[in-house]
């Protein structure tokens, strides 16, 4: 027994002593000997690399929370990234559907606010997860549910603002001999990005007839060249042993030189060829010298915009780029960029796994937050109608017909919004078209005020039924001051000509 113990100790010591030697040899091979330090001498990365390479052959990942190994050597993200596999297999819950409704409402409000800032067009491109386009390479246990997440998502959001990029990719997957996503990376390649961008262009072309676009041949394959394995292989430290290809499209050779500036400091960061740019976490302005349009785009994006960035630069003379995680935390960053940059167009590019993030439910500074899932339960005050304008009362109770350009109701009130309680206004209305969405603007008079003003107002978009407006989140509404009058304006007369509006109610829940 003692001999075996001694033998084991000797083996362990020899093994430990061999680690520095192996690292020294590897450093010489990589021409890094001058950079070796004491800590790196005992680095065991080489061992995990060898083990990962061996296990990869059997479809086994040592880090399945981050990386999943599928069939034919395809790599996919694991659940550590937005719970991607569980959501794909189980679908969206009813509570998550309500979260999507909040995001859709916020996008509608941002579109209204951006138009008020001079923005001509606001669109959100949704890039599908790799597993949504290539589910056949996933392990059997990771097979997505028949009702796909994006099917549910696009069943809720307004498809005039949100653009589903799956269609061109599904078509390309079955008709192109070249891949559109990397086998060893999370992302689409230049061909996939180009086809998605072309679909985006064709979707908005009629809404932006003033814009010129790249010719169709720019989205064709120019060359296929070897490249290093992608981010998923790097997670496993096996990138050196896995092959990967780059499918370059003609747009990558469009004659454009770009200059990149840090938007905050104005410092020049890069000048040269129109190359891929990583999603920046600080605002970066890209100026293109030979763009098709002298136009400014604020592009809020993630890493799926990397391969799309040369196409944006070739199309627009200035693009201000920032990752959405930084643009909306806090939301004032986005507001500041719009104010400072004054974009002509605002585009988002968001990967599927992130489209339900709460940050996309952030509202513009002049918008009211709505809650359509609860009712008032605390003390309530019903406001008295004192008059209406450009509205005609019909024989039906609470029903009015719009007969002018400035329709509104005015109510007498006597309530306060305090810091210590949550106050809500219940707006119950119906329209003959049950699917109508009514943009409204709510004005209020506080103690000492004689006239309504834009500073003491906020916007919302209501739907038929009961809408609870959060008064605590209304910017400009003072705390602990009596609200003596409230005016509710209809901002889009064509949305609904005949409206039934019950008396407004203020209370808590």
Average pLDDT of the segment spanning 136-151? 94
pLDDT at 297 over 90: yes
CA 146 from chain centre, in angstroms, equals 24
Q: How far apart are the first and last CA of the chain?
A: 74
Q: Which two tokens stand for residue 66?
A: 């981050």
* Confidence band, pLDDT 50/70/90 cuts, at residue 435: low
Please report the pLDDT score of residue 48 as a whole number: 67
pLDDT at 122 over 70: yes
Please report the pLDDT score of residue 1 as a whole number: 57
In angstroms, the CA 316 to CA 420 distance is 49
Per-residue pLDDT tens over the stretch 314-370? 999 999 999 999 998 766 899 999 999 999 999 999 999 999 999 999 999 999 988
Please report the pLDDT score of residue 37 as a whole number: 57
Please report the pLDDT score of residue 54 as a whole number: 77
Please report the pLDDT score of residue 34 as a whole number: 44
pLDDT at 441 over 50: yes
Give the range among 36-50, 94-108, 132-146 with minimum mean pLDDT.
36-50
Nearest Cα neighbor of 138 from 174, 213, 88, 192 is 88
60 vs 9, more confident:
60
Give the range among 15-24, 67-76, 300-309, 403-412 with minimum mean pLDDT.
15-24
Average pLDDT, the chain: 90
74 with 183: CB under 8 angstroms?
yes
Burial class, 393, CB count within 10 angstroms (exposed 0-12 / middle 13-18 / buried 19+): exposed
Please report the pLDDT score of residue 6 as a whole number: 58
* Confidence band, pLDDT 50/70/90 cuts, at residue 26: very low
Beta carbons within 8 Å of 85's beta carbon, 6+ residues apart:
68, 76, 77, 78, 79, 131, 142
CA distances from 112 to 117, 249, 280, 366, 508 (A): 9, 36, 26, 10, 28
130 vs 379, more confident:
130
In angstroms, the CA 489 to CA 407 distance is 6
Please report the pLDDT score of residue 59 as a whole number: 80
Q: What is the DSSP letter of 420?
A: S
In angstroms, the CA 96 to CA 155 distance is 13
332 vs 215, more confident:
215
Average pLDDT of the segment spanning 455-467? 91
Please report the pLDDT score of residue 327 as a whole number: 96
Instruction: Indicate the SS3 state at residue 429.
Output: strand
308 vs 44, more confident:
308
pLDDT at 46 over 90: no
Q: Which two tokens stand for residue 204?
A: 């908005």
35 vs 337, more confident:
337
E strand or H helix at 234: helix 231-235
Burial class, 376, CB count within 10 angstroms (exposed 0-12 / middle 13-18 / buried 19+): middle
Average pLDDT of the segment spanning 88-116? 93
pLDDT at 21 over 60: no
Instruction: Indicate the SS3 state at residue 273.
Output: strand
In angstroms, the CA 227 to CA 406 distance is 62
Please report the pLDDT score of residue 332 as a whole number: 84
* Confidence band, pLDDT 50/70/90 cuts, at residue 61: confident
Q: Which domains does the chain have, with CATH numbers?
A: 84-88+108-361 (no CATH), 370-507 (2.60.290.11)
Please report the pLDDT score of residue 18 as a whole number: 53
Please report the pLDDT score of residue 16 as a whole number: 45
State residue 375 phi and psi, 5-degree precision.
-130, 165
52 vs 300, more confident:
300
Please report the pLDDT score of residue 421 as a whole number: 83
pLDDT at 15 over 70: no
In angstroms, the CA 103 to CA 155 distance is 13
Instruction: Indicate the SS3 state at residue 246.
Output: strand
Please report the pLDDT score of residue 96 as a whole number: 92
Please report the pLDDT score of residue 420 as a whole number: 83
In angstroms, the CA 482 to CA 333 distance is 32
Beta bridge partners of residue 346, listed in sequence order: 122, 298
Q: Which two tokens stand for residue 205?
A: 């072309």
């Amino acid at each position: 027994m003692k001999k075996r113990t001694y033998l084991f100790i000797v083996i362990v010591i020899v093994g430990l002593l061999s680690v520095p030697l192996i690292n020294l040899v590897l450093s010489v091979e990589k021409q890094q000997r001058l950079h070796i330090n004491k800590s790196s001498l005992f680095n065991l990365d080489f061992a995990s690399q060898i083990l990962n390479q061996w296990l990869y052959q059997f479809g086994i990942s040592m880090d399945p929370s981050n990386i999943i190994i599928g069939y034919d050597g395809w790599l996919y993200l694991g659940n550590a990234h937005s719970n991607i596999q569980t959501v794909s297999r189980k679908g969206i819950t009813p509570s998550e559907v309500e979260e999507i409704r909040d995001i859709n409402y916020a996008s509608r409000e941002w579109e209204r606010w951006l138009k008020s800032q001079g923005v001509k067009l606001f669109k959100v491109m949704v890039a599908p997860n790799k597993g949504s386009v290539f589910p056949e390479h996933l392990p059997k246990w990771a097979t997505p549910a028949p009702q796909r997440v994006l099917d549910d998502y696009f069943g809720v959001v307004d498809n005039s603002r949100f653009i589903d990029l799956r269609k061109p990719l599904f078509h390309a997957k079955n008709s192109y001999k070249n891949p559109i996503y990397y086998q060893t990376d999370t992302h689409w390649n230049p061909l996939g990005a180009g086809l998605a961008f072309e679909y985006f262009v064709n979707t908005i072309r009629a809404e932006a007839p003033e814009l010129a676009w790249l010719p169709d041949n720019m989205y064709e394959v120019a060359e296929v060249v070897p490249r290093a394995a992608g981010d998923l292989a790097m997670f496993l430290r096996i990138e050196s042993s896995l092959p990967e290809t780059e499918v370059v499209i003609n747009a990558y050779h469009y004659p454009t030189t770009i200059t990149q500036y840090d938007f905050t400091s104005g410092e020049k960061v890069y000048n040269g060829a129109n190359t891929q740019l990583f999603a920046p976490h600080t605002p970066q302005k890209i100026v293109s010298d030979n763009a098709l349009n002298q136009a400014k785009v604020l592009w809020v994006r993630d890493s799926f915009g990397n391969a799309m960035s040369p196409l944006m630069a070739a199309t627009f003379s200035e693009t201000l780029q920032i990752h959405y995680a930084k643009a909306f935390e806090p939301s004032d960053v986005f507001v500041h960029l719009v104010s400072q940059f004054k974009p002509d167009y605002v585009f988002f590019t968001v990967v599927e796994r992130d489209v339900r993030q709460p940050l996309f439910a952030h509202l513009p500074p002049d918008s009211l937050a709505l809650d359509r899932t609860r009712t008032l339960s605390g003390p309530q005050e019903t406001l008295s109608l004192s008059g209406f304008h450009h509205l005609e009362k019909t024989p039906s109770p609470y029903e009015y017909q719009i007969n002018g350009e400035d329709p509104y109701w005015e109510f007498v009130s006597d309530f306060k919004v305090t810091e210590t309680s949550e106050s809500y206004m219940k707006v119950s209305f119906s329209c003959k078209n049950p699917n109508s969405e009514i943009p409204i603007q709510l004005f209020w008079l506080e103690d000492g005020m004689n006239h309504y003003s834009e500073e003491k107002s906020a916007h919302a978009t209501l739907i038929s039924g009961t809408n609870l407006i959060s008064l605590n989140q209304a910017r400009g509404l003072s705390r602990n001051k009596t609200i003596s009058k409230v005016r509710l304006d209809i901002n889009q007369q064509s949305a609904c000509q005949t409206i039934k509006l019950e008396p407004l109610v203020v209370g808590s829940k």
